[in-house]
Amino acid sequence: MKSLIPKMEIFFNNVNLEDNNLNIKMFTFILYISDIFTRIPFSGIKPMLIINFFQKEIDSTLELKGYDSTENIIIKKKNSKFPDKYGIRKKEEKYQYEIFNEFDSIPFDGRNYILENLIIDYQENCFIPLDILLLRNQSLEHFIKNNENFLNVNDEIYSEFKIYFKTIIKSKCILEALKTNKDYDGIIELIKNDSIINKFLEKKYLKSLPLFEFSGSGYTNKDILVSGVSGFPFMIYNYKPIKTIEDYKELKNIIILFNIGMKLITLLHEFIIHFCFGYLNYLSDGKILSTSPKKDNKNVTNDGGLFFEQILFGKQYGNITAKEILVLLNGGDSFNSINNLQTNLAKDINFEEFQAKSQLLTLFLKKHTINFKKLKRTNINSYMKSFGNEMYIERDIMKIIPSQKRELPYNYVKRSKIYENK
State pLDDT tens for residues 84-102. 899 999 999 999 999 999 9
Find out whether 244 and 135 touch, Cβ atoms under 8 Å: no
What was the pLDDT predicted at 43? 84
**H or E stretch including 124?**
helix 115-124
> Residue 43 contacts by C-beta under 8 Å, 6 or more apart in sequence?
none
Q: Which residue has the higher pLDDT, 97 or 415?
A: 97
The C-alpha atoms of residue 65 and residue 351 are separated, in whole angstroms, by 49
What was the pLDDT predicted at 8? 62
**Structure confidence at residue 76 as a pLDDT band (50, 70, 90):** low
| Mean pLDDT for all residues in the chain | 86
State pLDDT tens for residues 303-355. 899 999 999 999 998 888 999 999 999 999 999 999 999 999 999 888 888 99
What was the pLDDT predicted at 417? 36
Whether the predicted pLDDT of 16 surpasses 80: no
Which residues are bridge partners to 394 per DSSP?
Answer: 319
Decide: helix, strand or coil at residue 211. coil
CA 191-262-192 angle, to 5 degrees, is 5
**H or E stretch including 308?**
helix 304-313
Mean pLDDT of 258-287: 94
State pLDDT tens for residues 131-184. 999 999 999 999 999 988 999 999 999 999 999 999 999 999 999 999 999 999
The candidate with the shortest Cα–Cα distance to 66, out of 50, 35, 90, is 90
Sign of CA pseudo-dihedral 126, 130, 135, 140: positive
What was the pLDDT predicted at 355? 92
Highest mean pLDDT out of 56-60, 291-295, 348-352: 56-60
Find out whether 323 and 390 touch, Cβ atoms under 8 Å: yes
Measured CA to CA in angstroms, residue 245 lies from 129, 151, 263, 379, 382 at distances of 11, 24, 28, 18, 20
The C-alpha atoms of residue 160 and residue 153 are separated, in whole angstroms, by 11
The C-alpha atoms of residue 16 and residue 253 are separated, in whole angstroms, by 39
State pLDDT tens for residues 102-137. 999 999 999 999 999 999 999 999 999 999 999 999
CB environment 261-300: b (16+ within 10 A), e (fewer): bbbbbbbbbbbbbbbbbbbbbeeeeeebebebbbeeeeee
What was the pLDDT predicted at 334? 95
Measured CA to CA in angstroms, residue 279 lies from 169, 187, 285, 293, 409 at distances of 16, 9, 10, 16, 20
Mean pLDDT of 51-66: 92
Query: Is residue 121 left, alpha or beta, with left meaning phi > 0 and alpha meaning psi from -120 to 50?
Result: alpha
Sheet of 392-394, strands arranged across:
236-237, 392-394, 319-321
Q: What are residue 236's phi and psi, to 5 degrees?
A: -115, 160
